[in-house]
Amino acid sequence: MDARSRVFSSFTIVKGSLIEETYSIFRDWDYGVSKFENLRRVRDENTIGATSTNWALNVTKVMNRRFDPEGRDRPLVGLAKADCDREVWKPLLLYHMTRDEFLVRDFLVNWLFPQFRAGTCRVRVDDVFLYLNGLRKMSGIEWSGSWSESTLKRVGSGLLRIATDFGLLQGAQVREFASYQLPDASFLYLLHAMMDREANARRVIDADDWHMFLMDEDDVERELLRLHQFRRLDFDVAGSLAQIKLPAATAADFARELR
């Protein structure tokens, strides 16, 4: 995580998930020039078809904040350039953006997932407002700017929209949990990415990251066993011990196989 990974920024949340804009920008990414030059071209030439110059500027600001296309996010760029199926690509985008968007990750992992597990049927902006107010007690967090009650509600609405954009929720004014299922290719990529970070299979199975996709460790084990049966990977488990052998050495290698 970089120095801003525990900064709560209302700007990026309110601007939204930007799924289509991000896909379009990464699909046209030029590795031969800098990140600054790529984003300048998006802004100056309006390559995303933005409705206004100001919106194009805002999109490039969010992109600059969220992603490192030459480093950790390069596999995501490569998949967009290869016209990866968006339904496969979207969960990967969520994983990559939440490595820096700490508030989105905390909301999904520590608030939305527990609501799902508790059997909550509907979630509203007012519910998220209470969650955001509770974050003020957290240590080690930097709040970007002064957040008024109006800002908190805009951020709460933004978080619900992001969860809806990624298929976790459905509805408009009142959101309900959707029937969400990770595509196999997305699940395999995420396994590779988590194993890149943590070589211990049990810790990967138990990782909080899966909560972003409304999955717990039992769900992960079931998927591993199913994919093992289809010979997509090798998975052995005995009590608390687990071993996973993946089809590629790294997430970047697996991403190249997906193209």
**pLDDT, tens digit (0-9, with 9 covering 90-100), for 210-233:** 999 999 999 999 999 999 999 999
Strands 169-170 and 142-144 come out as unpaired
Q: Long-range contacts of range 252-258, CB-CB < 8 Å, 24 or more positions apart? A: 252/74, 252/75, 253/192, 254/188, 254/189, 254/192, 255/75, 255/76, 255/78, 255/79, 255/189, 256/78, 258/79, 258/82, 258/84, 258/88, 258/185, 258/189
Say what percent of the chain tops pLDDT 70.
Answer: 94
Q: Which amino acid is at 220?
A: V
Overall average pLDDT of the 109-121 stretch: 96
pTM of this structure = 0.94
pLDDT of 145 above 70: no
Least confident span in 1-5, 39-43, 193-197: 1-5
Q: Which residues contact 163 (CB under 8 A, 6 or more apart)?
A: 107, 108, 112, 169, 175
Q: Is the pLDDT of residue 237 over 80?
A: yes
Query: How many Cα atoms sit within 13 Å of 213 on the Cβ side?
Result: 24
Task: Look up tokens 């289509």; give the residue.
Answer: 20
Evaluate the CA torsion angle 48, 52, 58, 61 in order and state its sign.
positive
Least confident of 11-15, 23-27, 236-240: 236-240
Backbone CA torsion sign across 239, 245, 250, 251: negative
Distances (CA, A) of 225 to 170, 191, 219, 221, 251: 29, 13, 10, 6, 20
Q: What is the pLDDT of residues 64-73, one digit of tens each?
A: 999 999 999 9
pLDDT recorded at residue 170: 96
In the β-sheet with 122-123, what is the strand arrangement from edge to edge?
122-123, 175-177, 169-170
- CA 50, chain centre distance (Å): 23
**Cα dihedral 92→104→59→14 (10° resolution):** 150
Q: Is the pLDDT assigned to residue 137 strictly greater than 90?
A: no
Nearest in space to 24 (alpha carbons), one of 57, 58, 63, 72: 63
In angstroms, rounded to a whole number, what is the distance separating the alpha carbons of residues 211 and 22? 23
Question: At 163, is the pLDDT very low, low, confident or very high (cuts 50, 70, 90)?
Answer: very high
